Every structure is written in C-alpha cells, then in structure tokens.
Amino acid sequence: MSENAARYRYPLFFVGSFLMLIMAFFLHFGVEVQELYIEIIVLVGFVLFVMSMVVGLGSKE
Amino acid sequence: MFKTERKQGWFPEFTELNWRFWSFVILLIMSLGALTWFPVTGTFEGYTDPFYSPTLLVIPLIAAFRLSCYAYRKDYYRHVFKHPQACATGIREGKNGETRGYSGEKGFFALNNYHRYFLYVGIAILPFFYYDFGVSLFYEPGYFVLRLGSILLIVNALLLTLWTISCHAFRHVFVRGQLDCFSCSLGGKTMKKLYDGQSFLNRYHEQFAFISLIIVVGVDLYIRALMVGLPVDFTFLKFAI
C-alpha cells in the first residue's frame, strides 16, 4: 500500500465506523429505509473499516 | 536542554480545533449508544459472540488492554489525536543538575502504564474463546459440525492469542524481558531462547493487534447477521459421533 493511502487511514476508519453506527441508529429508531440498503451500507462501512487498518499496516509511518 | 513545543497533558485537546479528535469523540458516544441499544444477545445456534461472556463482564478492562497496547498507542497518537506532533524524549534533570536518562514507564497516573495488569485479564479470558469454539462444534447433540462460523471463531481465538503473547508487557513479565544480562542469571540460555521467540512474534504485534480487531468486529457482525436470518452460514463437515 502506498504511503499516500496510509495518510487517510483515520478518515477511512471514521467514515467506515460512522456508516455502520448510523445504520444501527436507523434500525433502532425505525427510520423507513429498505433493509437491503441498510445491509449494503453496513457492508460498505465494514469494508472501509477494514481498509483503514490494512493501509495502516502497510505503512512505516 | 532540548525542548519541543508540545503541550503536556490531555486538556489542550479540548481547546483546539482538531477534527480528528472531535470526530473520534463523536464515534465513541455513538458506539456507547449502539452498545446500549443493541446489547449482545449471547449465543445463536452454538455460536458465542466474542463480546459476550466472559468478555462482557470485564469489557472495560479489555477495552483498556486494547487502548493501552503499544500498537494502538502509536496509531492514535499519530493519526487520531495528532498529539504530540513529533516525539522527543528530553533529557531529564535531577535535583543537582545531573542528567538522567529514560527510566521506564512508572508514572502512577498514566493509564498506559497499567498495560501489564490489563494483560493478566487478557490472558485469563483467552481459554474461553477456545471453549466457545468447542461448543460451536458439538452444539447439535450426537453430531460433529464444522461450519463457517466455527472457523471464524477459531481464527478469532488464535489471533487474540497471538496478539496477547506477542505483547511488549508479556515479554517483560513472562520471558524475563526485565533482565539486563541473560548469561548472568539462572537458566539464562533457555530464557534467551524464549525471549528471542517472543521477540520474533513481537515484531508482528501491530499486525496481530489490528487484524484481530477486524476479526472480532467481523465475527460479532457475522453472528448478528445470522440472528436476523441472513443466509451466510455454510456447513463444511457433519457426521454422527
């Protein structure tokens, strides 16, 4: 992974976790969104969360 | 004497416009809310959530073990708080003006200095993860079942073990990392071998720390997905015993 990507590990971590948590709140408060969309967004959030760790591990920073 | 411009202590963070810090605070508050509204329900079809018992009982200590880990410290100082901006350990001056070097992490009021005590809790809960793996294999009476979830559970347990035994505090406490001279002490050669083995694992401590974090969160999400009925479980092996 390039060092450039590693610089954005925290923004990736933030957006990933934020998406997962926001969807949890949507479920809790019963916001009317199709369940499929929620699942897709949680998955995207988890992928970003994983990416944030992986780009960090590849860097020497 | 060399001095940096950095401010000491955690309080300056609250007075500075630091979006990384504040966004992290928002994440923490949201996570606490999510933990309250979506409590871990425990077991499902033989799978035990890694956040469930006994982790649930000691979750503040486990969280402190993660937070005071050297790998996480490096990352949150550099990338979350950006504080200090640069590191330099100044030369400390004694009472009579003599200089003293680094003297270890002995400060009483620094949470990070308690890492080795949190390590004991971390070690104590490790066997439960292997037990949960065993339970998931034999949850159907009279059958041995190997499912995707069981594999995830054992991967989780192994990574947690590797992360724990590659810990810097583990080296200090269990493989005589506190010694200055191996050949001067009893059983020095054996200990040196153990020390070298542990040091080899320690090189990958950061990797173990972050990969195990991903797996723990992943296994939790996976079990929650099973609970709501998503078809993500696959059986690889099943036979009567």
In a domain, B34, yes or no: yes
- Cα B19 to the chain's mean position, in Å? 25
- Is residue B193 in a domain? no
Residue length, chain A? Answer: 61
> Does B179 map to a domain?
no
B210 touches chain A (CB under 8 A): yes
Average pLDDT, chain B: 84
Provide the domain limits for residue A28: 3-57
- What interface predicted TM-score (ipTM) does this complex get? 0.81
pLDDT for the residue numbered B88 = 59
B68 close to B112: Cβ distance less than 8 angstroms: yes
Give the Cα separation of B178 and B107 in Å (integer): 17
Percent with pLDDT over 70 in chain B? 83
Tell me how many domains chain A contains. Answer: 1
d(CA B44, CA B135): 11
Split into its structural domains, chain B has a count of 1
Contact (Cβ atoms closer than 8 angstroms) between residue B182 and residue B195: yes
What per-residue confidence (pLDDT) applies to A61?
A: 65
Residue B70 sits in which domain range? 12-166+204-240
User: What does the block give as tokens for A28?
Assistant: 């809790």
Rg (CA), chain A: 14
Please tell me the distance from the alpha carbon of residue B176 to that of residue B182, in angstroms, as a whole number.
9
User: What does the buried/exposed string (b/e) look like for B2-30 if buried means 16 or more CB atoms within 10 Å of the residue's CB?
Assistant: eeeeeeeeeeebeeeebebbebbeebeeb
Residue B216 lies in a domain: yes
Is B27 near chain A, with CB under 8 Å?
yes
Question: Are the C-beta atoms of A56 and B75 separated by less than 8 Å?
Answer: yes
The answer to whether B20 faces chain A, any CB pair under 8 Å, is yes
- Nearest Cα of chain B lies from the Cα of A29 at a distance, in angstroms, of 10
- Please report the pLDDT score of residue B15 as a whole number: 67
The verdict on residue B185 lying in a domain is no
Altogether, the residues listed in chain B come to a count of: 241
User: Under an 8 A CB cutoff, do A21 and B210 touch?
Assistant: no
Residue B7 placed within a domain? no
Is B187 among the domain residues?
Answer: no
The answer to whether B81 and B31 are in contact (CB under 8 A) is no
Question: What number of CA atoms fall less than 13 Å from residue B169's CA on the CB side?
Answer: 21
The pLDDT value recorded for residue B132 is 93
At B199 the pLDDT is 94
CB A57 within 8 A of CB A9: no
pLDDT digits (tens, 9 = 90+) for A17-43: 999 999 888 888 888 888 889 889 999
Both tokens of residue B196? 């070298």
Among B148, B212, B174, CA closest to A50: B212
Q: Could you list the pLDDT tens digit for every one of the 241 residues in chain B?
A: 555 555 555 566 566 667 888 888 899 899 888 878 887 778 888 898 888 867 777 888 888 999 999 999 888 888 787 766 555 556 666 667 666 666 667 777 778 888 989 999 999 999 999 999 999 999 989 999 999 999 999 999 999 999 999 999 999 889 888 888 888 888 888 889 999 999 999 999 999 999 999 999 899 989 988 988 888 889 999 998 8
- Closest residue of A to B25, CA-based? A14
